[in-house]
Structure 1
């Protein structure tokens, strides 16, 4: 239902065009479109991806494509250093984004604000040139945002965050409970200065923005929300979980294998382990084989997403031994990509083995599916710590990917008393996620405030 004062007003969205970032910004655009706003999405092309699926799935949006400013040489250099690519993107895209904004603002006097990914910190200065308010979307959790904001403090305390400190992995970070050194965000990069510049720019320009929109809800990150409001002197709108505001819609950049659902239909309730490590992570061959045998030895049915490019030096699953395939025949189903929201909502799914990207973590909570945590990089470490030790709705694989560890984690979650308690806590968290979106709930009220705030521009 459209709110008064919204009709005819247009919002510009500018996502970082990677799967984990484009999904929540399209969901946010959908939420605000349902409130009556017109939507234009600015897409940075040539960023090693295509947007055909998105254009087809969102015919109610207008799309405007710009060049990202990155050359083939730039992308070749960043194949092994994605963080350096983000630094370059924040520099090279400026003139192309500026020209796009000039063109769009001239064409349509009803444009009221820009909503951009927080990582794209360069957009603040460009929006200011056109006197356009800029709201920021944080695509991850509040808990990890506070860790990123604390990076200067951690450096001053002689930590070496984001790069790993092998000798002190288990030590507590006293300045940031409940984290240990191993829970701090980890990025593999050859250019630490560029990484810090991206993070510093993200925090600085978020604090200078017209407002911060969060894909989270008060009852999930209550303590972190309170601290955030003290540290970030701007309007803050936690309106998540985004995907629960409307029926499932696909923002996948990859083709989804629908046999996942028909296969799940043949399995008993809560019996299947669903495994997916997201759209970016890569694992070594030895780890891949340990995962395979851990799943085989658990004797539980499993649906396993093996994304092309997931295994270093391998096309797909050609390295799986025939003995493994014979052992799991009928019990295991392997696909290249799955419709994750549908999978997690399926009654046959009893556990989610995840990399703990924020989107995946929220989707699992909303469906009440306990997690096996295997964070790979970035904020996933922070998210996994919250899942396993704060919310206590999952178990974390912490001592390497050995098949016995994997089998034990699966049995803990699927068979043991500890697993039953984890499931009970997860169902309580699911109920909180449901209630926050109902009339009078925290996210419901926050969305009302957001739409009113944007309408006032």
Structure 2
């Protein structure tokens, strides 16, 4: 079906996927239009969210220092085991870093929400962080206090993180997330890859590396460069705006 199409539309841009887009043109031999990052044109609103957003997390972030908070969210689809959930909890606690953790109801297999926390663990977590059921992610990533993002690397989350210049710790769950995570860690080099490593000490080590160590500073510098490049793509004369204009002309010609 793709081979018989009149064109391909990607929610991406040349600045992040130039080689992949060129390869797609060669393979499918149809016009390719990279018009992303799409959310830059139409920011998300609370009415479009899949779940009720907890706006109190933004007020909590207002009281934190710049780039001091790790944002943790595995998205609207990924599920994890009870063991993996507790490993994340203990590593966040042991990292001693500020964090905002989205624990989606039903995301932990066999559990409704946070009843897996012991009283001692919950108290330890609450000393350093805030746990919510859902968040206004675009606003969170854009907040001055957020300095890192533990993500499943869905494409929307990955692009949103790049657009706000927030480096990532990658915990992909499957499908395209695996490829996206590899781009983050190995191609763009703006994050740390932890595929298959939801285990004690691994997340803690990655959190410390990203938030307080020199390697995290270098990752952040590369992310700032990529952020600027992608930002230019949606401005006048940028690759994404040019692609949208080309797409409109292509549709008119059909």
Task: Assess same fold via TM > 0.5.
Answer: yes
Partner residue, 2:29 = 233
Partner residue, 1:340 = 137
Within 2, Cα distance between the matches of 1:325 and 1:295? 11
Q: CA deviation at 1:454?
A: 1.9
With normalisation by structure 1, the TM-score equals 0.54
User: Quick check: 1:214 aligned with 2:13?
Assistant: no
Structure-2 change in CA distance of 1:271 and 1:289 (3 Å): same
Partner residue, 1:351 = 148
Give the secondary-structure state (helix, strand or coil) at the position aligned to 2:16: coil
Q: CA deviation at 1:246?
A: 3.7
Gaps of 5+ in 2: none
Partner residue, 1:298 = 95
Gaps of 5+ in 1: 1-204
Taking the TM superposition and a 5 Å limit, the aligned residue runs for 1:237-256 are: 237-250=33-46, 251-256=48-53
User: Quick check: 1:224 aligned with 2:20?
Assistant: yes
Give the secondary-structure state (helix, strand or coil) at the position aligned to 1:280: coil
Q: CA deviation at 1:254?
A: 1.3
Within 2, Cα distance between the matches of 1:263 and 1:206? 46
Partner residue, 2:213 = 416
For residue 273 of structure 1, the aligned residue among 42, 62, 70 is 70
Give the secondary-structure state (helix, strand or coil) at the position aligned to 1:220: helix
Partner residue, 1:131 = none
User: Quick check: 1:456 aligned with 2:253?
Assistant: yes
Partner residue, 2:161 = 364
User: Quick check: 1:285 aligned with 2:82?
Assistant: yes
Taking the TM superposition and a 5 Å limit, the aligned residue runs for 1:301-320 are: 301-320=98-117
Within 1, Cα distance between the matches of 2:85 and 2:252? 50
Q: CA deviation at 1:398?
A: 3.9
Tell me if the contact between 2:172 and 2:195 (Cα under 8 Å) persists in the aligned partners.
no
Within 1, Cα distance between the matches of 2:177 and 2:44? 24
Q: CA deviation at 1:247?
A: 4.0
Q: CA deviation at 1:399?
A: 5.5
Give the secondary-structure state (helix, strand or coil) at the position aligned to 1:334: strand
With normalisation by structure 2, the TM-score equals 0.96
User: Quick check: 1:396 aligned with 2:193?
Assistant: yes
Q: CA deviation at 1:325?
A: 1.4
Tell me if the contact between 2:100 and 2:130 (Cα under 8 Å) persists in the aligned partners.
yes
Give the secondary-structure state (helix, strand or coil) at the position aligned to 2:15: coil
Taking the TM superposition and a 5 Å limit, the aligned residue runs for 1:109-128 are: none
Partner residue, 1:439 = 236
RMSD: 1.2
Give the secondary-structure state (helix, strand or coil) at the position aligned to 2:53: coil
Relative contact order (alpha carbons < 8 A, sep ≥ 6): 1 or 2 greater?
2
Give the secondary-structure state (helix, strand or coil) at the position aligned to 1:428: helix
